[in-house]
Amino acid sequence: MHETKRRHLTVLRTELIAPRMQRITLGGADLEGFTSLAPGDHVKAFFPDPTVGEIVTPVVVDGRPQLPTGPGEVIARDYTPAAFRPIGEHGPELDLDFVLHADGSHAGPAASWAAQAKPGDPLIIGGPRGSRVPPSDIRRAILIADESALPAVTRWLDLLGEAEVIGLFSALEPGTSQYLSGYEASAREFRWFSGEDRNTRIAETLAGLAITESTLVFLAGEAGSLIPLRRHLRRELGLPKEQVDAHGYWKQGEANLDHHAPLDPSDPD
Ligand SMILES: Cc1cc2nc3c(=O)[nH]c(=O)nc-3n(C[C@H](O)[C@H](O)[C@H](O)COP(=O)(O)OP(=O)(O)OC[C@H]3O[C@@H](n4cnc5c(N)ncnc54)[C@H](O)[C@@H]3O)c2cc1C
């Protein structure tokens, strides 16, 4: 567990690092002591409520967060600390990489904010509350992710070092593969899937892979698309839950998915 602290940060710079992937680099003295040790870590980012023009955060009463009684709404979403540099160009720096998924009426407040963020804009983050650090002796891993989990994938790749890695990545834009440029290595094979049938093709590819008891499988992305993959791994192959690290990061048609809810309600472990 880490010290839970609300950090008031400022946008230092932004960069479109792949189609639909916006890197927001944040800075501020509040990053002092920031700790993130595991690929599955996330921060809760608090965004401005456009109706009041400022960020509204929960108030802490008797050590517990409660909704504030004043005007405005708490708008918060989960993001992976893609990179943290304790000593950056302007003091400590934290990169959060946002999928710019906003299209038409489905624009979410986090993606909309990231698309327009500019140096000097404020953002408040909380967490990570803790880090679930994976074992250090993983020799083979299969990483399955859509764009939202690519920051987590880079965290896995940093941690996995020389291990054999097969990556099955779903992306709306084929050019998204540039997000992982610099992460290629001889023991790593990245396969990218775009087009309407990308989830079906990932399922077919996964079914054709040899998965031994020493293979760790990480899956994260759109919750509904992960259910058949997780069922294949847990039910058909009978892999134990320690070997299958599956997380819904968002859900089609649902704002602010509660990622603590079971991914597959028919099999909630
Ligand atoms: C542990 C964890 C780590 C995460 N890390 C990251 C990260 O590093 N980068 C990142 O971009 N996301 C990440 N996510 C996912 C992110 O929290 C969600 O995508 C979030 O819902 C985005 O908020 P929003 O305000 O843009 O959209 P919301 O208001 O939540 O949703 C509005 C609409 O947009 C749709 N939507 C939401 N997200 C997406 C998407 N990615 N693609 C297409 N449609 C979408 C919803 O289905 C809904 O219809 C993470 C989630 C978790 C649980």
**Is there a single domain that holds both residue 70 and residue 108?**
yes
**Is there a single domain that holds both residue 162 and residue 64?**
no
pLDDT for the residue 65: 82
231 C-beta closer than 6 A to ligand 1: no
Q: How many domains is the chain partitioned into structurally?
A: 2
Distance between Cα 46 and ligand 1 center (Å): 13
Least Cα distance to 144 among 207, 236, 94 occurs for: 207
Low-confidence ranges of the chain (pLDDT < 50): none
pLDDT for the residue 105: 63
Instruction: Report the alpha-carbon distance of residue 263 to residue 249 in Å, rounded.
Output: 10
Instruction: Report the alpha-carbon distance of residue 155 to residue 138 in Å, rounded.
Output: 14
**Is there a single domain that holds both residue 116 and residue 152?**
no
**b vs e for 231-248, b when ≥16 Cβ sit within 10 Å of the residue's Cβ?**
ebbbeeeebeeebbbbbb
The amino acid that residue 268 corresponds to is P
Distance between Cα 103 and ligand 1 center (Å): 13
Distance between Cα 170 and ligand 1 center (Å): 15
Q: Write the residue with the smallest CA distance to atom 5 of ligand 1.
A: 79
**Could you tell me how far CA 167 lies from the centroid of its own chain?**
16
225 C-beta closer than 6 A to ligand 1: no
pLDDT 10s digits, 146-177: 999 999 999 999 999 999 999 999 999 999 99
CATH number reported for the structural domain that contains residue 190 in this entry: 3.40.50.80
pLDDT for the residue 72: 93
Q: What's the token pair of residue 217?
A: 């499988």
**Is there a single domain that holds both residue 150 and residue 229?**
yes
Identify whether 62 is part of a domain: yes
**Is there a single domain that holds both residue 118 and residue 19?**
yes
CATH number reported for the structural domain that contains residue 29 in this entry: 2.40.30.10
47 C-beta closer than 6 A to ligand 1: no
Q: Is residue 131 exposed (0-12), middle (13-18) or buried (19+ Cβ within 10 Å)?
A: middle
Test site for ligand 1: of 23, 101, 112, most ligand atoms within 8 A of the Cβ = 101
pLDDT 10s digits, 234-248: 999 999 999 999 999
pLDDT for the residue 62: 87
pLDDT 10s digits, 186-198: 999 999 999 999 9
**Is there a single domain that holds both residue 19 and residue 114?**
yes
**Is there a single domain that holds both residue 147 and residue 241?**
yes
Instruction: Report the alpha-carbon distance of residue 110 to residue 76 in Å, rounded.
Output: 8
